Amino acid sequence: MDWTPHAAALAARVTYPGSSWWVPVKETPRHLLVERWYTSSPQGWIVVDGPSDESAWAAAAYADTTLVTRIGAVHADHARPYPPVTGHPTSSSTLPSLVVAMLQHGHLTPGVRLLDVATGSGYSAALACRRLGDDLVTTLDVDPYLTEAAAQRLERIGHHPTVVTADAGQELPGVFDRIVSMVSMPCIPASWLAALAPGGRLVTTLAGTGLIVTADKTEDGGATGRVEWDRGAFMTTRTGDDYPPALNHVFTTANHTEGEVSVSPFPVLDVMQAWEVWSMLSLTAPGIEHRNGTADDGSRMTWMLHPDGSWARAHTAPGEHTTTVYQGGPRRLYDLLEAIRWRWLEHGQLPVYGAQVTITPDGKTTLSRGGWSTTL
């Protein structure tokens, strides 16, 4: 495959001539790092083998899109063509524009030592190696197969960073000037602050939100920074082969229990597409699982489910603007959503983007802006 024009086209989409990341994107053969991936179908996830169709391989590898490489415990490298694999994505090669954005937020100047958290396919490590040099890049992932495969593929394209298999939430393998995470964290681990050199910088997204946090280490061993104005989301960090199972038992309850009934003046909202609302709600009540659908009569429906057993079911009938809401369990999840939507309307914005970030040496993280604050 003549991949160079494809990589050049990708560079033109996600960066610009003169940028520090123009040459790394232009000169990195992403297709050699992602040889097989999954596409979704009504029956499940179907594996695609790149070398079997080079035109499809090039189109996928050099598109600015995320390529899912692992479903549950089954990596695409090991999947059979049939039957489809079912489950939730647990690893991917993230869309290049977001990878580049996270690296840019890291301020990777020559000479800095980088820890790339969540190796995945190795693409972010490859870009960093092009920018900094192999000896200054360490990449880490919890999955031993991912680190082994990435190390081999990085070697194939001429890069030899330090590749480590470890849990990102535990003790880190060294001291670094920059820690940039390609996986979402529920909070900032104290181990990151311990491993960050004086004046060092960390960049991550917060789990369940679209918030990118950047923070620079302070003299007391903590860090201060902000929530950036742009947004991004990654898979959440995990410690095992898979994530906890979906809340199907709570979903069953939500569908077969009337609960408390109320009427909302707002139509049903796809919360996951309303990034400010989603982020604010996730900070208020972490762990909510959102589902959307359409009833037999054409009503738009949404469900909110929580591990504590709380649930909400809401639908907006065709031609209507109000929503009928049913809720149950220890908390009223839809009421929390409604309060955030009212705040959004009253103020024209929510305080999450642009919030100041303060992190204590033990990882306690506080976000604050305009009289609002929350601690993770």
Query: Domain holding 203: CATH number?
Result: 3.40.50.150
- 268 and 193 in a common domain: no
Tokens coding 2 = 């003549």
Which tens digits make up the pLDDT trace of 277-307? 999 999 999 999 999 988 888 888 999 999 9
Tokens coding 126 = 């490859």
CA-based end-to-end distance of the chain: 47
DSSP 238: -
- C-alpha distances out from residue 28 to 148, 153, 214, Å: 19, 12, 26
- 311 and 219 in a common domain: no
- 190 and 47 in a common domain: yes
pTM of the model: 0.91
- 299 and 255 in a common domain: yes
- Residue 370 belongs to a domain: no
- Residue 363 belongs to a domain: no
Instruction: Reduce the DSSP state of residue 263 to 3 states and report it.
Output: strand
Of 319 and 192, more confident = 192
- Residue 101 belongs to a domain: yes
Number of structural domains (the chain) is 2
Domain extent at residue 126: 4-231
- DSSP conformation letters of 144-213: HHHHHHHHHHHHHTT---EEEE--TTS--SS-EEEEEESSBBSS--HHHHHHEEEEEEEEEEBTTS-EEE
- Residue 362 belongs to a domain: no
Q: Provide φ and ψ at 74, rounded to 5°.
A: -105, 110
Output the CA torsion sign for 160, 161, 167, 173.
positive
The answer to whether residue 235 scores a pLDDT higher than 90 is no
How large a percentage of the chain has pLDDT more than 70? 97
Which tens digits make up the pLDDT trace of 254-279? 988 889 999 999 999 999 889 999 99
Mean pLDDT of 70-96: 90
How large a percentage of the chain has pLDDT more than 90? 82
Which tens digits make up the pLDDT trace of 199-211? 999 999 998 899 9
Helix axes of 4-14 and 96-105: crossing angle, nearest 10 degrees? 60
- Residue 325 belongs to a domain: yes
Mean pLDDT of 74-86: 92
Angle at 272 between CA 92 and CA 65, to 5 degrees: 30
- 252 and 227 in a common domain: no
Mean pLDDT taken over the chain: 93
- 335 and 189 in a common domain: no
pLDDT at 248: 87
The confidence band for 104, taking pLDDT boundaries of 50, 70 and 90, is very high
